Amino acid sequence: MFLGKLSGQLLKILVIVGLALFIIFITQRTVSQFLDGGSSGNKIIVFTVNHNETVDEVAKNLEDQGLIQSATYFKLRIRLSNADANLKAGRFTLHQGMSVDQIIRALTTSENVEVVQVRFQEGWRTEQFADRLVQVGLISNADEFMNATKNGQWNYKFLSSRPSGATLEGFLFPDTYEFRAGGSTEDIINTLLQTFDQKVPASLRAKADALGYNFYQVMTIASIVEREAAVPEERPIIASVYYNRLREGMPLQADPTVQYAVGHPDDWWPDITQADIDKDDPYNTYLRPGLPGPICNPSLASIEAALNPAQTDYLYFVAKGDGSGAHAFSKTYAEHQQNINAQQ
């Protein structure tokens, strides 16, 4: 009877010890998961954190893509470490097997964000900027970019003369940029505008007043010069022709403005026909007097030419047709006709 009681007590002890070991095992796994939380495997995954995405959304996406075992552990860990406010928008190269702490460090450190380099060419219209951004994967929707250039709130002094409802055409500075992947459309546009502000300082912009035009009007001239000039030295001369025409009350008759009017996604700068010239449009400077508004985003050289035009009496010019891109300039229509005939 004593042995039976002893064996019963021993059994209870063994059960208790077994339960304790089981609890310790589970606790160790839980603590291990809490301290690590990463997934198994070694697959490389490009993970995107979108602009204004919440910690909850990021955690769910990490779990859905197999980078962490538990979104709950990730949220707890990032908040306990006070790193939730430091999440960066962008694309990150992560891999399965990373711990939660490693993932948090990757997502909250700027140097880990994928950077995309993009070149915007001088003389591109805004739609071409948008198309290029889509091509390199910085934005998914060109229409969203175009809408932001028209309806966004942009607080820059050089935009003060821009008419209500006008886009940012003319003011997106063409250059080579590096953007964080996953950044917002607004961030991209602000970078372009900030670059314009730096490259075209107030001291240079002030020259518009001496010409008798506001800066938006001068940028319209600059954009036309950009599309007309192939020889750098001719930029100030071409600018002078358009100012002279305006002074004489003549229509600008600038072919690039008609190209802008009839351009389409398959060809933003098509060759124009007589039918295009005869078609009424706010940007058709054969039919509409005055300045239409910028038609592209010009280079600094064209902006400087528009602000510092040559002093000439020229009213006309025609391409020489010798492959040089140079033009023959003239003061009278009769001289202009002679130049045209000389090219035929």
CATH number of the structural domain spanning residue 179: 3.30.1490
128 and 157 belong to one structural domain: yes
Quote the DSSP letter at residue 180: E
Task: Select from 170, 199, 228 the last residue of a domain.
Answer: 199
Q: At what angle do helices 215-228 and 255-262 cross, to 10 degrees?
A: 90
Residue 182 pLDDT exceeds 50: yes
Q: Does residue 74 belong to any structural domain of this protein?
A: yes
Q: What is the pLDDT of residues 221-244, one digit of tens each?
A: 999 999 999 999 999 999 999 999
Q: Does residue 142 belong to any structural domain of this protein?
A: yes
Task: Select from 164, 199, 234 the last residue of a domain.
Answer: 199
Please tell me the number of Cα atoms within 13 Å of 304 on its side-chain side: 9
Domain tally, the chain: 3
Beta strands in 160-219, from DSSP E residues, in sequence order: 176-180
CB 104 within 8 A of CB 81: yes
At 160, which amino acid appears?
S
84 and 145 belong to one structural domain: no
Residue 177 pLDDT exceeds 50: yes
Query: CA-to-CA distance for 306 and 278, rounded, in angstroms?
Result: 28
β-pair type (44-49, 176-180): unpaired
β-pair type (176-180, 115-119): antiparallel
57 and 145 belong to one structural domain: no
231 and 273 belong to one structural domain: yes
101 and 63 belong to one structural domain: yes
The parent domain of residue 95 ranges over: 44-112
Task: Select from 199, 230, 246 the last residue of a domain.
Answer: 199
169 and 271 belong to one structural domain: no
Q: Does residue 38 belong to any structural domain of this protein?
A: no
Quote the DSSP letter at residue 68: B
Mean pLDDT of all residues in 55-59: 92
Q: Does residue 299 belong to any structural domain of this protein?
A: yes
Q: Does residue 21 belong to any structural domain of this protein?
A: no
Q: Where does 36-153 have alpha helices with state H?
A: 55-64, 71-80, 100-107, 126-135, 142-151
164 and 58 belong to one structural domain: no
pTM: 0.77
Please tell me the number of Cα atoms within 13 Å of 260 on its side-chain side: 29
Q: Does residue 31 belong to any structural domain of this protein?
A: no
100 and 119 belong to one structural domain: no
Mean pLDDT of all residues in 104-110: 83
Q: Does residue 186 belong to any structural domain of this protein?
A: yes
216 and 194 belong to one structural domain: no
Query: CA-to-CA distance for 18 and 24, rounded, in angstroms?
Result: 10
Report pLDDT for 312.
98
Report pLDDT for 28.
47
Q: Does residue 28 belong to any structural domain of this protein?
A: no
137 and 75 belong to one structural domain: no
225 and 327 belong to one structural domain: yes
Q: What is the pLDDT of residues 304-336, one digit of tens each?
A: 999 999 999 999 999 998 889 999 999 999 999
Burial per residue of 120-140, b for 16 or more beta-carbon CB atoms within 10 angstroms, e otherwise: bebbbbbbbbbbbbeeeebbe
Q: Smallest Cα–Cα separation from 90: which of 101, 76, 106?
A: 106
101 and 119 belong to one structural domain: no
Q: Which residue has the tokens 């955690």?
A: 59
CATH number at residue 91: 3.30.1490.480
